[in-house]
Amino acid sequence: MNRKKIVTLGGGTGSYMLLNGLKEYSYDLTAIVTMADDGGSTGVLRDELGVLPPGDIRQCLVALSDSSVIMRDLMTYRFEKGDLKGHSFGNLLLSALEKITGNFSTGVEEAIKILNVKGDVLPISEDDMRLEIILQDGTILNGEKELDDNQDIRKKCIKDVKLSKEVIANKKAIKAIFDADYIIIGPGDHYGSILPNLLVKQISESIKKSDALVFFVSPLTNKMGHSDGYDMLDYVTRIEKYIGKNRVDNVFYNSKIPNKKVLIQYEEKEGPNSFVLCDEKSTEFKKRKFKVVKGDYLQNKSIDKKFSDSIAHTRSFIRHDSHKIAHAISFTINNDDNKLNSIEII
């Protein structure tokens, strides 16, 4: 029997979480990763060495790695002192491989061999991909790092994002999309990890034309100035702006509310009513064709934030659970709709 081919589209912690769960199943996995990141260790290496951003690629490589625990720990290790403070060893390795091979993708291929990666990890583009953030008052901010570092966003709110210039999509990424049985978008930061991929026109057009089923993993929470008041349908609508209306087939929505203490802690940071809701009774919702796969997808254990991580303050402490969401996706793939019982489908 041919193994199902799954392509994931995203970046950062969200892609790491998803891939770490899916690798336990017998799928052919390909992670397509945003190249718009320019914050933290990644941003320093981009600016100082002129390399492509390694951070999100590194996380996907580690997630799919079948190497020893010590090797995986080495790739995520961050230096705590000296000139290398804040840098991840894995970021340095990928940057060095790019310099040695003369090409970022070739360097990633070598890292795949070193880490015994079960699957493929592809940069969405090898061009210098940079994000522009347009605020509601017309102000334009340059760089993905501004999403979390610029307080004007929290006051003025994001209107839209775009690429500073058009980039050419990785041909292997386009081929993977057309070969895929399933394309999974998310989870991840809406403006930082998800939309940058869809802003690459060849990618969004390929998803439109692909025969693959499209799954979307809905965010758990909203962010102040980014997505205030968004419900699940708002996110789907914004994604389908790029890939076509009714292109999303299934939405994986977490229906488990975090415990009160955690929710209050999050809302103190991001504002009231930050939990993403799903209004099934709205007229607009009833017009849509996608199915909602609801369940408890919350990670229960607390998140450890490392002192050496210069962008630790940007990382959410309410996250999806790798194994729960991977189980829900696999269950949906392997069962007819009318046979689903452990996961409620609307």
In the chain, the amino acid numbered 98 is E
Instruction: Specify the 3-state DSSP secondary structure of 161.
Output: strand
DSSP β-bridge partners for residue 161: 133
| Residue 317 reports pLDDT greater than 90 | no
Tokens 């590194």 belong to residue: 58
Residue 262 banded pLDDT, cuts 50, 70, 90: confident
222's tokens: 């909203």
Higher-confidence residue of 304 and 29: namely 29
Residue 300 banded pLDDT, cuts 50, 70, 90: confident
Give, as one character, the DSSP assignment of residue 328: H
Note the pLDDT of residue 340: 45
Q: Cα dihedral sign for 240, 187, 95, 175? A: negative
- Calpha distance 109→308 (Å, rounded): 28
Instruction: State the average pLDDT over residues 243-258.
Output: 94
Evaluate whether 154 touches 224 at the Cβ level (below 8 Å). Answer: yes
Tokens 């969405």 belong to residue: 124
What's the CATH number of domain 5-128+172-345, 2.30.42.10, 3.40.50.10680, 3.40.50.970, 3.40.50.10540?
Answer: 3.40.50.10680
Note the pLDDT of residue 342: 40
Per residue in 326-343, pLDDT (tens digit) is: 999 999 998 865 544 345
The pTM assigned to this predicted structure is: 0.92
Q: Cα dihedral sign for 198, 63, 59, 3? A: negative
Residues in CB range of 260: below 8 A, 6 or more apart: none
